[in-house]
Structure 1
């Protein structure tokens, strides 16, 4: 049986490269030749630094890593009808049961079935030369979008896109994004695509603010601090119509909420941790709406690809570093440092 190289995450901030058998697609599955596979912040937090393998439903189970895959279909399993060899695709990173209400809505991320499995967490992911994926989890990549775009759309951009939809961003809106990691930068890009009239970004790291500015993603970039709220209120004349917190930081979440104008929308997508705010002053009396948003749906990921195509935007502009699979340990170490943009593993033709 042909062999291939694959990356695993044993914990303790290490990457284990192994030679394994190339997989074969089963019923309703396709074999993808991998082209690009992103590294997500959740991979770093939950797996790279510490191997959490106790709960088979939600934690890493010692599989091939990488839950942001994009590649080309090379072989079909029995029963496949919608894709063909040669198709360029991104992979929705959760394979759900297909029958619970969340799956019926396209939100496999919230599938309630015990057999729910995430690529790169509970089933083999994209940090290998080939990947077996369920056909129903694939999203077509328009010809204008690169495989680099596709792997980023597979989760990070999809997460940002859902936040922009929940916030109902339009050309009337000033938009604030708190936390300018890869997802935050993607949120700014997508808000621009939706026509936001003003884009403001805040981060604790000046170099991230500068990167977002160089990419043309914002009108105003601010370094987090005691003066940030006042500056935002002045720039927006009373607060952002839509604020999106990508920081997952308690102070960042409070800033996003307090910088939302009266009757505005605040969307939380940054993972982990807690937040504490004054319910009356910060929420009720200002008539603000807070949304919690987790990733996106397969339908909206499809729409995201169509919109990026129509807008002429490329999330791959936010990718700062690409490594071959053989250098996956270096890629993870760089991403764990928290000072880069998006980091991916890339597979040459």
Structure 2
């Protein structure tokens, strides 16, 4: 490889996506070149980069450096650099979207997302990402993609499904109890699907958008969905009625909103476990009745680990679940501007770019 050009999508920060030509890179030591099969559009990119929010101004974390966008790629390795030992040409992979230092405790635990070294870089933020024909990645960033899963499946595992899985693992979702999912965007849909695979007895979703509720209902993953009521307590009462039980043993907030987090707490049963994975916003709660007297445990998690992402891909294969079911819209790279407008607006489910489509 290393010769020729390819198209790549950039986010200038003015609510547009721009297509530019750039050279196809050549892998160096410990690097692989991945021919991108699919690349998801993530809500964090929309909120922090697409609309010239904090990512462009360098507030609350490393700034976007004007690179090819997209941190949710999967594809096929077409070239390897010197020193690569685990993956080779032709291997199908998911790309974990953070390249860490590989030396700190977090990296050694498999969590480069929490690497604090100066050289930590995110694909699509500080180094070229997956919204292109090819993406150059560290071999250490690769996760095997089972043959039964598509590249679109892999792109969804790369971020949203991985994030949902980590949150559900922390609260120990299983067949002994019910699951409440608050916020039915792509991560919430992933939580419902994975919760089904993990054996949750019943799964109820809460979502403000009727369009997203209708899409979620059509997936056949949730036993019921409902719109939020006037208060978190009223919503929790509606959830309890749907479950036929005084709250859910496990709840997860994927909305990233104060109201959503309050609903996840109010909707938990006594001795329940609450997972917070939605980015942004604030958490505000009464303590005694809402937390202490119900004996709740709150967990917070940020994305997932390389090990858990590998595990999730194997589980999805074993469960016979296909993440691409939550995809409502697919676009080619040349339609990236249209795709981002939809993802930033009222998309029903996940929006994905598929190079060459």
Q: Specify the TM-score bucket, using the shorter chain as the normaliser.
A: over 0.9
1:1-349 aligned at under 5 Å gives the runs 1-50=3-52, 52-55=55-58, 58-226=62-230, 227-236=234-243, 237-348=245-356
CA-atom RMSD in angstroms = 1.2
Please say which of residues 331-340 and 108-117 is displaced more in the overlay: 331-340
Decide which moves more: 207-216 or 65-74: 207-216
Task: Report the count of equivalent residues.
Answer: 349
Q: CA–CA distance in 2 between the matches of 1:225 and 1:59?
A: 38
Given that 1:334 and 1:340 are in contact with CA atoms closer than 8 Å, whether structure 2 keeps it comes out as no
Indicate the larger mover: 233-242 or 145-154: 233-242
- Quote how far apart the aligned CAs of 1:53 are: 3.6
Secondary structure, aligned partner of 1:97: coil
Query: Residue 181 of structure 2 aligns to a residue in which SS?
Result: strand
State the SS of the aligned residue for 1:340: coil
Could you tell me how far 1:33 is from its partner in structure 2?
0.7
Q: Deviations over 1:82-121 (max 9, x none)?
A: 1111111110000101111111111110001011000000
Preserved contact between residue 321 and residue 344 of structure 1 (Cα < 8 Å): yes
* In structure 1, C-alpha distance between the alignment counterparts of 2:305 and 2:14, rounded to whole Å: 32
CA deviations over 1:306-342 (Å, ceiling 9, x no partner): 0000000000000011100011101100000033310
Q: Distance in 1 between matches of 2:280 and 2:124?
A: 20
Find the residue that maps to 2:273 and give its secondary structure.
strand
Deviations 1:219-249 (A, max 9, x none): 0110111342211122331110000000111
Q: Work out whether residues 266 and 288 of structure 1, in 8 Å CA contact, stay in contact via their aligned partners in 2.
A: yes
Structure 2: 5+ residue runs without aligned partners?
Answer: none
* Alpha-carbon distance, 1:54 to partner: 4.7
Determine the C-alpha separation between the residues in 2 that align with 1:142 and 1:59: 34
- Give the alignment's TM-score, normalised by structure 1: 0.98
Gaps of 5+ in 1: none
User: What whole-Å deviation, never above 9, does each CA across 1:176-228 have from its counterpart, x for those lacking one?
Assistant: 00000010000000000000110000000122112111101100110111342
Contact 1:248 1:273 in 2 (8 A): yes
| Cα deviation digits, residues 264-302 of structure 1 (max 9, x gap) | 100001110102111111111110000011100000000
- The separation in 2 between residues aligned to 1:335 and 1:301, in whole angstroms, is 24
